[in-house]
Amino acid sequence: MNLKTSTRSAKEPADKSDPPQRTIVLAVTGASGSVLAVEMLRTLEADPRVGRIHLVVSPSALRVLAEETGAGGRHTLVEQLVGARSTKVSLLAHEDIGASIASGSYPVDAMLVLPCSMGTLAGICHGMASNLIERAADVCLKERRRLVLCVRETPLSLIHLQNMLSATQAGATIFPVVPSFYNHPQTVADITRNYVHRILQHIGLPQPGAYEWGAKAPAKSTK
Ligand SMILES: Cc1cc2nc3c(=O)[nH]c(=O)nc-3n(C[C@H](O)[C@H](O)[C@H](O)COP(=O)(O)O)c2cc1C
Residue 94 CA, closest ligand 1 atom number: 26
When pLDDT is cut at 50, 70 and 90, the band that residue 9 belongs to is very low
Contact 153, 127 (CB under 8 A): no
User: Looking at the domain assignment, is residue 53 inside a domain?
Assistant: yes
* Alpha carbon of 118 to ligand 1 centroid (Å): 7
User: Looking at the domain assignment, is residue 216 inside a domain?
Assistant: no
User: Looking at the domain assignment, is residue 14 inside a domain?
Assistant: no
User: Looking at the domain assignment, is residue 91 inside a domain?
Assistant: yes
* Alpha carbon of 34 to ligand 1 centroid (Å): 11
User: Looking at the domain assignment, is residue 209 inside a domain?
Assistant: no
CATH number of the domain where residue 173 is located: 3.40.50.1950
CB atoms near residue 83 (< 10 Å): 18
Q: Check residue 215 and give its pLDDT.
A: 87
Distance in angstroms between the alpha carbons of the first and the last residue of the chain: 35
User: Looking at the domain assignment, is residue 9 inside a domain?
Assistant: no
Mutation probe of ligand 1 site: the residue of 32, 114, 121 with most atoms within 8 A of C-beta: 32
Per-residue pLDDT of 65-119, as tens digits, reads 999 999 988 899 999 999 999 999 999 999 999 999 999 999 999 999 999 999 9
DSSP reduced 3-state for 213:
coil
* Alpha carbon of 64 to ligand 1 centroid (Å): 7
> Which are the contacts of 162, defined by CB distance < 8 A and separation ≥ 6?
none
List the residue whose alpha carbon is closest to atom 3 of ligand 1.
Answer: 32
What pTM does this model have?
0.92
Pocket of ligand 1 (CB under 6 A): 29-32, 58, 60-61, 63-64, 67, 117-120, 152-153
Number of domains in the chain: 1
User: Looking at the domain assignment, is residue 143 inside a domain?
Assistant: yes
Measure the CA–CA gap between 78 and 46, rounded to whole angstroms.
14
List the residue whose alpha carbon is closest to atom 9 of ligand 1.
Answer: 31
Name the DSSP class of 13.
P
Q: Check residue 19 and give its pLDDT.
A: 76
Which residue range is the domain that position 122 belongs to?
A: 20-202
Parallel/antiparallel/unpaired status of strands 146-151 and 110-116: parallel
Mean pLDDT of 152-173: 98
User: Looking at the domain assignment, is residue 110 inside a domain?
Assistant: yes
